[in-house]
Amino acid sequence: MSDDIGIGSTGIVKDKSPKSYLNLKLVLLIVLGIVSFCLIAFVPSEYPNRELIVKILETIGAAFMVAAVVSFFYENYVRKESEEKFSRDLAESLMKSNELAENIANKLVNKYHISTGLRLLCSNRKSCQAYSSWAKKDVEYFPQIVRCLGRSVLHQINTDFQNRGMTDLCAIMVQKLGCGSHFSIIFTYPLSEYLGQIAVQEDRPLREIQKDLLNSLKICVDLYLKLQEVKIQPNNQMDFSLNIYLYSKSAIQMCYHEVEDILVSPIQRKIIVGFYLDHHPDFIQPAFEVQDPKAQTYFNEYYKNIKMNESILFLHWEQPERVPKLDIKTYETIYENFFSTDRDLLKDIGLIEPKVLQQKINDWTLSS
C-alpha cells in the first residue's frame, strides 16, 4: 500500500509512517529514562551534592518513563478512538450527501415534474455569486426585471452583499429603480403558522428564523423610508415598479431568483432555483440554473401562483403613483405581536415603532 492518505470503501485508509515514528519515539523515551536512572550509579558517594543530583536524575528518568506510558496510551487509545470517530462521521456525511442527491432528484421528478434542463451552479446556494449578478457595478445603471422568492430572501441577499463588501441593498435597489428596473419579491410572513414546520425542516431554532424574517421586514421599511427621501420622479420614458409580498399559506418549498435584462433583444432571462430539504446541513444546499425553456416556464408559473393567489402585497410602487405605499396595518400587527411576546428581539433588530412610522407617512403626505 502506498503512503498516501485516501478514502477507501471501509472509511479512511491511513499511511503507516506515523506508526513507525510512534514506535521510535516510545523507544527513545524509555531509553532516556533508563539512562537517567543508570547515571545515578556513576555519581560518587563522597560528592557533596550527591543527594540533589540523584534526585534530579530520578526525576528526569521518571519523567521520561511517564511520558512514554502517556504517549503509548494516547496513541493507542485516545487518538485511535478519535480517528475512528472521524471515520464514522465522514462516512455518515457521505451517506447524507448521497441521500440528499437522491432526494433532490426524486423531488424534481416526482413533485416538480422536472427531469432535465438544470445546471448545478454551486453546492451552497447561500454563497452563490450568481444571486448578486444584478447588483454588480457593470450593470448598476442597467434596467432589469428582478424576481425573488425565499423564506427570508431580503435578509439573505443583504447578508450576502455585506459579506462581499458591496453597497447596502436598499441603496442598490433605489438606484436600480431610478434607471427603470422592476422588482417583485416574496418572503415568509413573520407571523406565519408554518414557522414551526420551517424550524424543523431547517433544523434551526424558531427565534433565529423569526429574527431573519424581521430583518427582511426591516429592510422593507428602510427601503420605503429611503424612497420617500430620494423621491424618484416618475418619467414617461422610464417605467419602474416595486412589489414586495408576504407569504403565509404554507412553508415555501423552493427559493427562486430570476433576472431579465430589459434592453437586450431578445430579452435575456436567467433563473436560479434551490430547494428546502428536510434536515440538511448548510454545506449541501445546492443552487441550480434553469436552462430548459419548459422548466423555466414551470418555475416561473410556480412563482406567479404564489404571488397572485397566496401572498399579501406589503410594499408597492409603480407609475403613475407619485409615492410608494406600505401596508401599515400589517406592519402594526406584526410589530405588536412581537412587542408582546419578544420585545428584546424587536430591540435587537431596531424596527421602528408603528406610530412613529405612521407619523412619517402623515408628514410626507402633507408635504407632497
- Tens-place pLDDT, residues 19-38: 555 566 666 766 676 766 67
Residue 145 lies in a domain: yes
Q: Does one domain contain both 134 and 70?
A: no
What would the pLDDT profile of 204-252 be if each residue is shown by its tens digit?
899 999 999 999 999 999 999 998 888 776 555 568 899 999 998 887 7
pLDDT score for 252: 79
In a domain, 226, yes or no: yes
The answer to whether residue 104 sits within a structural domain is no
72, 168: one domain = no
Measure the CA–CA gap between 215 and 152, rounded to whole angstroms: 8
Compute how many other C-beta atoms are within 10 angstroms of the C-beta atom of residue 57: 19
Residue 112, in any domain of the structure: no
SS (H, E, C) 156-180: HHHHHHHHCCCCCHHHHHHHHHHCC
Pairing of strands 182-188, 241-247: parallel
- The answer to whether position 126 is within a domain reads yes
- Same domain as 200, residue 310: yes
What's the N-to-C CA distance of the chain in angstroms?
81
Helix axes 354-367, 206-230, angle to 10 degrees: 20
What's the pLDDT score for residue 8?
32
What is the radius of gyration, based on Cα positions, of the chain?
32
Instruction: Show which of 69, 99, 129 is a domain's final residue.
Output: 99
pLDDT in tens, 133-190: 888 777 767 889 999 999 999 999 999 888 888 888 999 999 888 888 999 999 999 9
Q: Is residue 111 part of a domain?
A: no
Q: Which carries the bigger pLDDT value, residue 283 or residue 332? A: 332
Answer whether the bond into residue 266 is a cis peptide, omega within 30°. Answer: yes
Single residue among 99, 134, 169 that ends a domain in this structure: 99
Q: Which of 99-103, 195-199, 229-233, 304-308 has the lowest mean pLDDT?
A: 99-103
Examine the pLDDT at 96 and tell me if it is beyond 80: no
Looking at the domain assignment, is residue 109 inside a domain? no
Q: Could you say which of 99, 129, 164 is where a domain stops? A: 99
Nearest to 328 by CA among 197, 193, 215, 225: 225
For 170-185, write each residue's pLDDT tens digit: 999 998 888 889 999 9
Number of CB atoms found within 10 A of residue 277's CB: 18
**Domain contains 108:** no
Same domain, 59 and 138: no
Pair (55, 137) in one structural domain: no
Only one residue has cell 430548459, namely: 292
SS3 286: coil
The answer on 187 and 301 residing in a single domain is yes
CATH number at residue 150: 3.30.870.10
Report the pLDDT value the prediction gives residue 10, as an integer from 0 to 100: 32
Sign, CA dihedral 77-82-88-91, equals negative
pLDDT at 128 (0 to 100): 76
Task: Verify that 182 and 293 share a domain, yes or no.
Answer: yes
Of 147, 108, 104, the C-alpha closest to 272 is: 147
231 and 342 assigned to the same domain: yes
Together in a domain, 206 and 353: yes
Together in a domain, 91 and 140: no
State the total domains in the chain.
2
Q: How many residues does the chain have?
A: 368
Q: Domain span at residue 303? A: 117-367
Q: pLDDT tens across 111-139, in order?
A: 555 555 778 777 766 767 778 888 877 77
Residue type, 227: L
Say whether pTM exceeds 0.75. no
Give the best-scoring range by mean pLDDT among 105-109, 168-172, 253-257.
Answer: 168-172
* 265 shares a domain with 167: yes
Residue given cell 424558531 in the structure block: 206
**DSSP β-bridge partners for residue 187:** 246
Q: Are residues 213 and 264 in the same domain?
A: yes
